[in-house]
């Protein structure tokens, strides 16, 4: 009713009151006859105005005329006195929504949206996110700019080419609310230095789960014993770290925060990923400060101080001592955080308690359940880039444990965590919880709970026997990785059958494998060559099809190969174990140990087994990569032959053949013949592969 009254006063005001409408005031008088339609958007405080024009006039010319008119005659509606009216050209082209799209960069989005107002930030979709369609968040400095951009660019098709892809990219806009409730209180209570002088109930770090809450109860039910074990360790107060380790995509963080620590209100989450991925020292300091709520921090001052130090050193030979190293500043941030955590731990202590006579340190030692919990997420993420950050965090965490200030839980997907943590906390056995993929029946319940809670899937019949059988088979192929299961559930909710959804996931995984492990590989930085990665992919992709080989699948029927078979191959003779560790860290493979030694190799996650098979079944791709392997094998054999020839040349330089060298010469000649036979065989196989490449498409 209110909107109808506003419409009468704002859009059709001339008819009712005899005064000009806002639209008529915005449009110059000479363009009034060209107005063909006015479509009000009252909820957004604007309107679409359609104008006709001749071929000699363009839309840009009309916008320029309106803009000039508004500059000379500002229009301030009664409902927006502080924001003068403005106008922009609607960039709308009706196109097919099924056209393939290209992801736009931040620069592309800026060039498109800046016309409508100032942008404070552009947040792209995380690179590892599988949510489709792809999205980005545009943060405008004021709501008016956001409204203009949304209404003018919604449905616009970015032209084909370098920006819009082969068929162009369609833009669809929606609003995202910026939550600012209690921001002053949150800033104060999350500030370690202010927290020391402010009496607050808790130091609590809000977290956003990676997964939706639907369906997680089924997962947590399976891990109830692990949650209970973590709770027991916290109550017992053992002086050691708690480590939750396992591959990415298993919900370790959500499990610890939402299940194991659901009854603990004092939790501080430190995510190492934004700290480690910061491009420089200043941004790294700012990222570390943001994780613990350390404000204000003037990270840019360190850069200026460094410049002053360099200038002073060049002038007088010594530094001015203004700048601080990254190590020092991180230490200051963590030290203040430790003080705040201790304040939180002692917050509920009262003098009248039965242990009120104890000192603060004695009270903390006697009451382990009252200590806050620090959760260090993504520990050892990209540890090769800057190990110092992890060493500093580990030392700080050890100090928290020694002084009984807080419990510390590390979440990591890197199996080498014990090396870093043992340096900070030696002679201690860590409490460990190992995460693996969930069981098929649990995975099925998780998917069904996700699908049933989605509005787009109301027409699905979950009781259908054919649907359930197909879903069960697909989950066996997909595995129990939560990220894959959630993506799978979303695709089913959008109307895809389970088979089609799994096929798309497998196809996408195969494309990612090619990009990450084969086509865009720098051996010096990655730790493996494309040939080594393909050798593993091919062996794992054909393992279950090799009849009669009992080692090709484990007791559960999962694809696997023997660790020793790979190590003994010529491609892995040099630093083979280091290469396999690098590939395991990159999550292409998973190495399973038996009696403390590496025993078998499996795909990094279950869905990769199907992706490996799909890659191997591509004759052209398989032949091309096999040809590269054969080329490298021929090079290895030629190098071995060259060494033999050099030694034979030395032995042949003696005036008379020594009898003691005859066995050595015989052995060298036998190996020479063996290596040459291998080369001959490799060349035959190479010729066959080249024939495939010439005949197949």
In whole angstroms, give the CA distance from residue 666 to residue 672: 10
Between residues 545 and 653, the one the model is more confident about: 653
Among 47-56, 302-311, 537-546, 609-618, the least confident range: 302-311
Residue with more model confidence, 20 or 606: 606
What is the value of pTM for the model shown?
0.61
pLDDT at 127 over 80: no
**Mean pLDDT of the region 542-554:** 51
Higher pLDDT, 133 or 286: 286
**Per-residue pLDDT, 92:** 57
Q: Residue 206 pLDDT > 50, yes or no?
A: no
Where do we find the tokens 């934004």? Answer: 274
Lowest-confidence region among 285-289, 501-505, 555-559:
555-559
More confident residue, 358 or 567: 567
- pLDDT for res 410: 95
Distance, CA of 503 to CA of 522 (rounded, Å) = 30
The pLDDT score that the predictor gives to residue 210 is: 41
Split at pLDDT 50, 70, 90, the class of 156 is confident
* CA distances from residue 643 to 646, 663, 696 in whole angstroms, order as listed: 5, 17, 39
623-695: which CATH number, 1.10.3470, 1.10.860, 2.60.120, 1.10.287?
Answer: 1.10.287
Instruction: Report the sign of the C-alpha dihedral through residues 151, 155, 161, 163, in that order.
Output: positive
Q: What CATH number has the domain spanning 184-349+359-434? A: 3.40.50
Span 517-522, mean pLDDT? 81
Q: Is the pLDDT of residue 39 over 90?
A: no
252 or 134, which is more confident?
Answer: 252
Highest mean pLDDT among 1-15, 264-278, 297-311, 321-335: 264-278
Q: What is the pLDDT of residue 248?
A: 84
∠ CA 230-186-258, nearest 5°, is 25
Is the pLDDT score of 124 beyond 60? yes
Measured distance CA(337)–CA(518) in Å, rounded: 44
Domain spans in the chain, listed from the N-terminal domain onward:
2-72, 106-170, 184-349+359-434, 440-493, 515-617, 623-695
Query: Which residues does 258 contact at the CB level (< 8 Å), separation at least 6?
Result: 209, 213, 216, 220
Give 284's pLDDT tier (boundaries 50, 70, 90). Answer: confident
Q: What is the pLDDT of residue 97?
A: 41
Q: What is the percentage of the chain residues whose pLDDT exceeds 70?
A: 77
Alpha-carbon span 490 to 211, nearest angstrom: 12
With H, G, I as helix, E, B as strand and everything else as coil, classify residue 638: helix
User: For the domain 515-617, what is the CATH code?
Assistant: 1.10.10
pLDDT reported for residue 561: 93
- Confidence band for 460, pLDDT divided at 50, 70 and 90: low
| Domain range 106-170, CATH architecture | 2-Layer Sandwich (3.30)
- In this predicted structure, what is the pLDDT of residue 428? 86
Mean pLDDT score across all residues of the chain: 78
- Region 173-179: mean pLDDT is 72
Q: CA 429, CA 117: separation in Å to the nearest integer?
A: 57
Between the two ends of the chain, the Cα-to-Cα distance in Å is 65
Predicted confidence at residue 166, as pLDDT, reads 60
Tell me how far apart the alpha carbons of residues 484 and 606 are, in angstroms, rounded to a whole number.
10
Q: Which residue has the higher pLDDT, 205 or 412?
A: 412
- Indicate the range of 133-147, 458-472, 481-495 predicted with least confidence: 458-472
Asked if 110 contacts 138 with a C-beta cutoff of 8 angstroms, the reply is no
b vs e for 92-121, b when ≥16 Cβ sit within 10 Å of the residue's Cβ?
eeeeeeeeebbebeeebbeebbeebbebee
**What average pLDDT does the segment 562-589 reach?**
90
Is the pLDDT score of 300 beyond 70? no
Q: Examine the pLDDT at 184 and tell me if it is beyond 60.
A: no
The length of the chain, given as a count of residues? 697
Residues 6+ apart with CB under 8 A from 496: 504
């Amino acid at each position: 009713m209110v909107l109808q009254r506003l419409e009468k006063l704002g859009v059709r005001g001339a008819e009712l009151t005899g005064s000009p409408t806002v639209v008529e005031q915005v449009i110059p008088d000479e363009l009034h006859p060209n107005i063909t339609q006015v479509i009000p958007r009252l909820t957004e405080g604007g309107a679409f105005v359609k104008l006709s024009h001749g071929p000699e006039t363009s839309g840009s010319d009309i916008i320029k005329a309106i803009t000039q008119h508004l500059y000379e005659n500002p229009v301030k509606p009664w409902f927006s006195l502080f924001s003068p009216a403005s106008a922009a050209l609607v960039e709308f082209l009706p196109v097919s929504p099924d056209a393939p799209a290209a992801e736009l960069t931040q620069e592309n989005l800026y060039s498109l949206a800046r016309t409508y107002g100032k942008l404070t930030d552009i947040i792209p979709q995380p690179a590892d996110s599988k949510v489709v369609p792809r999205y980005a968040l545009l943060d405008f400095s004021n709501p008016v700019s956001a409204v203009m951009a949304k209404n003018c660019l919604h449905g616009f098709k970015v032209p084909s080419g370098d920006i819009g892809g082969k068929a162009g990219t369609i833009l669809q806009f929606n609003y995202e609310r910026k939550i600012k409730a209690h921001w002053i209180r949150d800033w104060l209570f999350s500030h370690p230095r202010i927290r020391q002088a402010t009496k607050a109930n808790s130091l609590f770090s809000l977290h956003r789960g990676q997964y939706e809450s639907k369906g997680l109860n089924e997962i947590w039910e399976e891990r109830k014993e692990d949650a209970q074990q973590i709770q027991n360790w916290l109550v017992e107060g053992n002086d050691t770290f708690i480590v939750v380790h396992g591959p990415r995509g298993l919900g370790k963080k959500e499990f610890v925060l939402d299940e194991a620590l659901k009854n603990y209100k004092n939790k501080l989450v430190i995510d190492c990923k934004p700290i480690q991925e910061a491009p420089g020292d200043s941004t790294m300091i700012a990222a570390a400060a943001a994780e613990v709520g350390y404000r204000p921090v003037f990270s840019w001052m360190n850069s200026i101080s460094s410049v002053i130090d360099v200038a002073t050193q060049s002038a007088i030979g010594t530094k001015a001592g203004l700048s601080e190293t990254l190590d020092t500043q991180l230490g200051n941030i963590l030290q203040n955080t430790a003080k705040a955590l201790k304040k939180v731990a002692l917050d509920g202590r009262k003098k009248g308690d039965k242990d009120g006579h104890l000192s603060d340190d004695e009270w903390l030692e006697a009451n382990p359940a009252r200590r806050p919990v620090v959760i260090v997420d993504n520990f050892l993420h990209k540890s090769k880039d800057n190990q110092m950050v992890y060493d500093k965090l580990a030392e700080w965490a050890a100090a928290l444990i020694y002084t009984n200030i807080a419990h510390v839980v590390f979440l990591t997907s890197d199996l080498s965590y014990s090396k870093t943590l043992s340096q900070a906390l030696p002679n201690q056995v860590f409490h460990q919880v190992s995460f693996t993929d969930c069981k098929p029946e649990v995975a099925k319940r998780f998917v069904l709970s996700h699908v049933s809670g989605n509005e787009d899937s109301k027409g699905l019949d979950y009781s259908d026997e054919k649907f359930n059988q197909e879903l069960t088979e697909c989950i066996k192929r997909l595995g129990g990785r939560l990220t894959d299961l959630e993506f799978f559930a979303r695709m089913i909710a959008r109307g895809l059958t389970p088979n089609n959804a799994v096929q798309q996931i497998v196809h996408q995984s195969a494309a990612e494998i090619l990009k990450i492990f084969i086509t865009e590989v720098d051996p010096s930085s990655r730790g493996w060559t494309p040939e080594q990665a393909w050798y593993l992919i091919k062996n794992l992709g054909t393992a279950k099809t090799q009849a009669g080989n009992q080692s090709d699948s484990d007791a559960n029927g999962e694809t696997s190969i023997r660790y020793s078979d790979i190590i003994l191959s010529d491609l892995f003779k040099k630093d083979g174990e280091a290469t396999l560790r690098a590939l395991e860290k990159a999550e292409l493979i998973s190495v399973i140990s038996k009696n403390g030694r590496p025993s078998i190799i499996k795909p990094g996650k279950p869905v990769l087994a199907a992706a490996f098979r799909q890659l191997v079944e591509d004759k052209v791709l398989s032949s091309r990569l096999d040809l590269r392997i054969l080329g490298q094998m021929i090079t290895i054999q030629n190098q071995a032959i060259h060494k033999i020839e050099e030694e034979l040349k030395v032995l042949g330089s003696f005036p008379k053949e020594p009898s003691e060298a005859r066995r050595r010469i015989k052995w060298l000649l036998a190996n020479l013949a063996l290596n040459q036979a291998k080369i001959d065989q490799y060349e035959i196989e190479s010729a066959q592969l080249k024939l495939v490449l010439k005949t197949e498409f």
